Structure 1
Amino acid sequence: MNIPFEPVVAGVPINVHLILEYIAFFVAFRYYLFLRRKVADHLSTSTRLTIILGATFGALIGSRIIGFMENPVLDYSIAGFIYLLNVKTIMGGLFGGLLGVEIAKWIIGEKQSSGDLFVLPITLGIFIGRIGCFLAGINEFTYGTETSFFMGMDLGDGVLRHPVTLYEIIYLAVLFVLFRRLMKEELENGILFRWFMLLYFGFRFFIEFIKPNIFYTLGLSSIQWLCVVCFIYYRNTLIKLFKHAY
């Protein structure tokens, strides 16, 4: 199999990446519904729906903003406008979704944490989506820099590169197993989601150093600055995590 993987069925090119994105959303949501039936939920159905709505709008806006900030160049042509409509990143979606949830909870006056039930579905959804990114090769800006590392791969341009998405797929599989076990433990409400955000954003902060980013501020990419914002947002949890590890 060659990468980018671009199969043609009955003369029609198949966008595998796009198909896997849709599958990721569908599977993640169905898995969330399965978990909600299986696990006692401390929030009512109406509250959950409001939270999901807030997360959806927040993720939609956040993914576009951070996606644009990765290369903030304005192009006033029609092609540039179409690009702005389609550019997105999961990092902006996650943090935008977080802010959307907090705003929705503030509006309805909900004080309880609500993220733990989303951890496994989000991890699974990103895992499936990243398979699509990997198969897209250099057609998606998710590849790594040139390398002589033994895992270097030709992703479609004849250059051995870090398969960044493959690294992330492995990392997400480990996170899924870890959090699936932690779900069975008696832990503080909301702590799993905070741990997930810190662990995933921490991974993305370091993996950005082996991606060919073209826009930097003070030596860090836009994604890395978003990671810093996330670390500050969850600073109390981060401090507790280090104290517990010590």
Structure 2
Amino acid sequence: MVIHTLFDLAAAACSLLLTVWVYHWRLRDDGPLAIEEFGTGYAVALIGGAVVGGFGFGTLNLWLSGVPGLGRSIVGALAGAILAIEIFKRTKNITGSTGLIFVPGFAASVAVGRWGCFFSGLDDQTYGTPATLPWARDFGDSILRHPVQAYEALSMAVFVLIALVCFARRQPVFMRHGFYLMVGYYGAQRFVWEFFKPYATVAGPLNVFHFLCLALIAYAGLMIKRTADDRTAA
């Protein structure tokens, strides 16, 4: 799927450029980056967790749906990276959020990368369920379907704009909880889109990714509350 690879490269480039720009624009004076401060162990945990989570949950979902082969999952990669970093932070007695720098890049990578899924058609295994809406699309099997890839791309593009406005204003709540807000937002919107995908369910109408999304939402809420409690106690 050459077109998917091209969009993956475009997503990576946009993510990197936006991250570097936001860092120099708004975050450089706030101290060293987590990777600089905590060393290669942080980077290894981040990348390793993302790879294991992305391929692990992506492949599990395909297997449950009766589709052979390896799968990749954005939500799985996010969950895996978070789990690995939280374990790393606990072993190093690191407190507080270290993920604000990743907010614009992650959101932008999804906003761009999902178009690669959209244009790759059925082979990508990310198409939606049949629909009769005016914007339903035929992905190659003569069946009009929900363009869930576009739903997610547009949803995350909106978040990118919101995040940039918050960075520009140095909005206090966002500067403290921006990573957790992004995780919660991503989990919530992705939870909705999963109802429009033909994946195998594991409990009622919920598939594997539904439960990952619920875990992300719970994590975001818990961490925001914990951070707020720590500030109150201080």
Q: Is the 8 A contact 1:71 1:215 kept in 2?
A: no
What secondary structure does 1:70 align onto?
Answer: helix
Q: Paired residue for 1:53, among 31, 41, 44?
A: 44
Does residue 28 (structure 1) correspond to residue 15 (structure 2)? The answer is yes
Matching residue's letter, 2:108: L
Q: Is the 8 A contact 2:97 2:179 kept in 1?
A: no
| 1:144 CA displacement | 0.7
What secondary structure does 2:62 align onto?
Answer: coil
Q: Greater CA deviation, 36-45 or 126-135?
A: 36-45
Which position in structure 2 is the counterpart of 1:166?
150
Which position in structure 1 is the counterpart of 2:206?
220
Which position in structure 2 is the counterpart of 1:18?
5
Q: Is the 8 A contact 1:32 1:121 kept in 2?
A: yes
What is the aligned-residue RMSD (CA, Å)? 2.6
Q: Is the 8 A contact 2:130 2:145 kept in 1?
A: yes
How does the TM-score come out when normalised to structure 2? Answer: 0.83
CA change 1:21–1:195 in 2 (3 A) is same
Matching residue's letter, 2:193: I
Q: Greater CA deviation, 101-110 or 190-199?
A: 101-110
Q: Identity percentage over the alignment? A: 25
- C-alpha separation in 2, matches of 1:74 and 1:158: 21
- C-alpha separation in 2, matches of 1:211 and 1:105: 35
Moved over 4 A (4+): 237-240
| 1:140 CA displacement | 0.9
Taking the TM superposition and a 5 Å limit, the aligned residue runs for 1:64-79 are: 64-72=55-63
| 1:73 CA displacement | 5.3
Q: Is the 8 A contact 2:50 2:78 kept in 1?
A: yes
- C-alpha separation in 2, matches of 1:181 and 1:71: 38
Taking the TM superposition and a 5 Å limit, the aligned residue runs for 1:1-246 are: 15-38=2-25, 39=27, 40-44=29-33, 45-47=36-38, 50-72=41-63, 83-84=69-70, 87-183=71-167, 184-188=169-173, 189-236=175-222
Kindly tell me the number of residue pairs found equivalent between the two proteins. 220
Q: Is the 8 A contact 1:70 1:215 kept in 2?
A: no
1:78-98 deviation per Cα after TM superposition (whole angstroms, max 9, x unaligned): x95xx23xx110000011111
1:206-231 deviation per Cα after TM superposition (whole angstroms, max 9, x unaligned): 11111111243233100001112222
Matching residue's letter, 1:94: L
Q: Is the 8 A contact 1:145 1:212 kept in 2?
A: yes
- C-alpha separation in 2, matches of 1:43 and 1:111: 15
1:27-74 deviation per Cα after TM superposition (whole angstroms, max 9, x unaligned): 312332332233223335242754333211110011122112213359
What secondary structure does 1:216 align onto?
Answer: strand
Structure 1: give runs of 5+ residues left out of the alignment: 1-13, 241-246
- C-alpha separation in 2, matches of 1:170 and 1:48: 35
Matching residue's letter, 2:209: I
| 1:128 CA displacement | 1.5
What secondary structure does 2:31 align onto?
Answer: coil
Structure 2: give runs of 5+ residues left out of the alignment: 227-234
